[in-house]
Structure 1
Amino acid sequence: MHFFKSLYIAKVVYYFIVGIVFLFVLAFVFPFLLGITQLFFMVLILMLLVDSIILYKTKKGILCERNVPERLSNGDENPIAIFIENRYSFSILLEIIDEIPFQFQKRDLLFNTTLKSSEKQIIEYQLRPTKRGEYSFGAVNVYVKSPIRLLKRRYQFSNEKMVAVYPSFLQMRAYELMAISNRLTELGIKKIRRIGQSQEFEQIRQYVQGDDIRNINWKATARRNDIMVNAYQEEKSQNVYCLIDKGRVMQMPFDGLSLLDYAINATLILSNIAINKQDKAGVITFSDRIGQILAADKRGGQMTKILELLYKQKTRFLETDYEALYIYAKTHIRQRSLLLLYTNFETVTSMRRQLPYFRKLAKDHLLMVIFFENTELKTLLDKPAVTTEEIYHKTIAEKYFYEKQQIVRELGQYGIQALLTPPQNLTVNTVNKYLELKSRGII
């Protein structure tokens, strides 16, 4: 039974069978064809028998193994590798079908290759998950053809594996490596000149060209008979909280990811940068009620806690309760902190309903409201309108597009920082805004 389950007939055999049947039919009209047709049929049967013996005389002719990372990064291209070794004594043709998780909705993941005897090969491809959670990989199916190419033998390697998809830790590592090598500008992070100075005194040192002359310490200069300046260091250990809205407005999709997933990926990267700058990073999720909470900290293991917390987040599809957020912040966040609020507003009216809570949060903390551009509207605005219907659609699109700009202006009138960004630029723009606020010393 195992033999028949693993044996497959190549397409060319069916073509031969159709040709032989056609010759048998013609033999009724031209009797001399009967002998030739019978000979062809016997040769075909003999070749099939020889091909099956060649394929099955080696018990384990193929070695195959799939290598998958222990966890996948959401929204990123993750490398997958399939290792194959030919243990036959002849060259073979291979068809490889990998049973990847159903979430990718790919039914045509087929690889064709050729291997010489004892040759090894690694087939690499990329998978881009767009949802967090558990992904189940199935078996790897390898179909082998001998040089005769009439039959195929299937080898099935049960490399079944459950892999968790986490927020974008690959982007986090990329930003971290770029920061170490001082190449963040390649990712769009701006070099921001520090405006003003912190009041946290560090040391008195000798003046070098470029130092602010307002920092000259005249008493020390007189004692040393050399120009000395006061050096200040950047304030550290400040609280940076990422507040993630899990309400229905964050379920809107863009390029396969929801706005919630974009916010989660940006939170992971910003928290890592904040901790590297010696600030304390924390996370609060909320919707119709307060969700998961992680107090701001910078000790070792904090990034692991943030990653595990963000992995479990799901949209609740309910209206967000900003009053509950304000009450929690008022009660539990005692120290003045930077609050990065990831949410979304489509109209000025929807923002104004929450404005009283924003103003109360901004009294005790530095609040930055981060929401998203509707890139589809922008595309529609850039496209010329021809018909009456298109003009009508463009007029409505302009209304909603400029309402987003008005939201930024109104928040600014009350001293609330606002960041309107396309989803794909969320991480870069948020990091730039954080660094700008740090440079201005207003956190």
Structure 2
Amino acid sequence: MNDPITNLFTNYGDLLLKNAGLLGAAFVVPLLWLAVYRRVFANIPLVVLLAIPALLSFSLLFQQQLFSVIIWVDAAIFLVATIDLFTLPGKRALQIEREMALVGSLKKQHRVTLHISNVSSRRLVIWLRDDAPAEMQATPDRFTLSLAPRSRTTVHYDLQPTRRGSFTLYDVHVRVRSRLGLWQRYLEIPQQSELRVYPDMKQLSEYAILARTNRLSLMGVRRTRKVGTENDFERLRDYTLDDNHKYIDWRASARRNKLTVKDFQTSQSQRIIFLVDCGRLMTGQSNGLSLLDHSLNAVLMMSYVALRQGDSVGMICFSDRVLKYVPPQGGMNQMNQLLHTSFDRFPELVESRYDEAFLYLASHCKKRSLVVLITNVIDEVNAHQIESYLATLVGKHLPLGVLLRDHQLFDAADRDPVDDATLYQAAAAAEILTWRHQVLRDLEHRGALALDVFPEDMTAPLVNKYLEIKARHLL
């Protein structure tokens, strides 16, 4: 006598087979709805379980009586999967807080801390990834965590910005799984944070530390300024046999347990104006940064040194027009103005208008200043403009032209030729370098100072040039 349930499955077997498309849609539509509206997806264990009845279906080719067994297996898997679906944790089970500084430096590691709390009464296994912008590299970029009930944990990762500007980190992306692991859900925990990426500011703190320990030579900075015998206090240093005894600081000597003397500098409050080219000539790349990025790093470093010396610093950013002007002022608060002006300034694919920049300089900066023009030279047209406009400042201001070198050009000239093509390239590069050298000599002959440097090596030579100008009292 046949089992009535088996007969029921057998009677409806043909009906189910004839409506296989409708049956498939009955399974696919709920899965699509879960994926689109709930961001719930089948996990690998569920896929493996669903493969079992699929493999058993091939046995129907040989024995039709196994149809009822397959139906039972399907029903059991469906019931277990449905029950496990309701064990998926939601957003309320997790609390995430992001902790980070609001200001970062270009190409420097920026530490980010995530505090994750499991407020549910069950253990959770989560996969976590923060919303790092495309312009930043996160290390590590994701975490796998096992959270005990009612627990809190902390993870850290480093962001390395590859571009300056203002960025927003919106959500923390989390993947959770159900109790049996058959389902997984993607959650977005809102946690908005702002990050402003400035030019390299960590070099400023490094300079301050090395200056206090008399180790500026490690940064390539030479102390060429003549030390005065009266006026402003500069620093403390170890006593030498040639020092005057009246300049011994006895308190510092007792504290350091060695004779210590005071150094003084002549008081010379001077003005420095930076003209920073933000046009197409500064769009080139060197060591992963644009020429403008390297220029701003060097400008901020020299500004920091000048402000510590008591000088006033200002800046004009220009392309086909004057983009931003920071009036020259003294005091360390001026660094904030320079940073806010430069952090979101990018090179533009336009021809630079030197006439607009120098006209603006003439109308807004009438006192004698050290005018530092940072730009690039690639042809006779812009070389003639740079030379003529810098020459017009001689007498009223002290002009300094900083021209950035191209690695490819210098490498081509230094490369040993192995065939005719490399020989012609080396000859062309050598001819361009000879012309470039002549441009620099013409600038010096017309009374302007010139500095020819590679972009990534610009900071130390620029600071040394400034200290040399101070030592020779050229202003």
TM-score scaled to structure 2, two decimals?
0.74
Matched, 1:168 2:200: yes
**1:285–1:20 Cα change, 3 Å:** same
Instruction: Specify the alignment match of 1:25 in structure 2.
Output: 58
Matched, 1:239 2:271: yes
Question: Residue type of the partner of 2:146?
Answer: L
Give the Å deviation of 1:157: 0.8
Which secondary structure does the structure 1 equivalent of 2:377 belong to? coil
Instruction: Specify the alignment match of 2:292 in structure 1.
Output: 260
Matched, 1:113 2:147: no
TM-superposition CA deviations, 1:89-138 (whole Å, max 9, x none): 5544322233333545x899851312240251313131314142x32323
Q: Where in structure 2 are the equivalents of 1:296-311 lying within 5 Å?
A: 296-299=328-331, 301-311=333-343
Matched, 1:190 2:190: no
Question: Residue type of the partner of 1:14?
Answer: V
- C-alpha contact (below 8 Å) 2:164/2:196 kept by paired residues: no
Q: Where in structure 2 are the equivalents of 1:222-371 lying within 5 Å?
A: 233-299=265-331, 301-311=333-343, 313-347=345-379, 350-371=382-403
Matched, 1:60 2:92: yes
Question: Residue type of the partner of 2:142?
Answer: F
| Matches of 1:401 and 1:49, distance apart in 2 | 75
| Matches of 1:351 and 1:199, distance apart in 2 | 43
**1:110–1:371 Cα change, 3 Å:** same
Return the index of the structure with the highest Cα Rg: 2
Instruction: Specify the alignment match of 2:43 in structure 1.
Output: 10
**1:264–1:202 Cα change, 3 Å:** closer
| Matches of 1:255 and 1:30, distance apart in 2 | 70
Considering only aligned residues, what root-mean-square deviation do their CA atoms show, in Å?
Answer: 3.6
Matched, 1:73 2:105: yes
TM-superposition CA deviations, 1:182-225 (whole Å, max 9, x none): 44444x2323244x56697679xxx962359xxxxxxxxxxxxx
Q: Where in structure 2 are the equivalents of 1:92-171 lying within 5 Å?
A: 92-104=124-136, 110-117=141-148, 118-132=151-165, 134-146=166-178, 148-171=180-203
| Matches of 1:208 and 1:383, distance apart in 2 | 49
Question: Residue type of the partner of 1:21?
Answer: A
- C-alpha contact (below 8 Å) 2:106/2:160 kept by paired residues: no
Give the Å deviation of 1:47: 4.4
Question: Residue type of the partner of 1:128?
Answer: P
**1:366–1:107 Cα change, 3 Å:** closer
- C-alpha contact (below 8 Å) 2:317/2:324 kept by paired residues: yes
Question: Residue type of the partner of 2:460?
Answer: V
Equivalenced residue count is 417
| Structure 2, unaligned runs of 5 or more | 1-32, 234-238, 245-262
| Matches of 2:288 and 2:458, distance apart in 1 | 15
**1:167–1:349 Cα change, 3 Å:** same
**1:417–1:19 Cα change, 3 Å:** farther
Matched, 1:413 2:445: yes
| Matches of 1:424 and 1:235, distance apart in 2 | 32
Deviates more, 1:327-336 or 1:414-423: 327-336
**1:7–1:435 Cα change, 3 Å:** same
| Matches of 1:411 and 1:401, distance apart in 2 | 15
- C-alpha contact (below 8 Å) 1:95/1:110 kept by paired residues: no
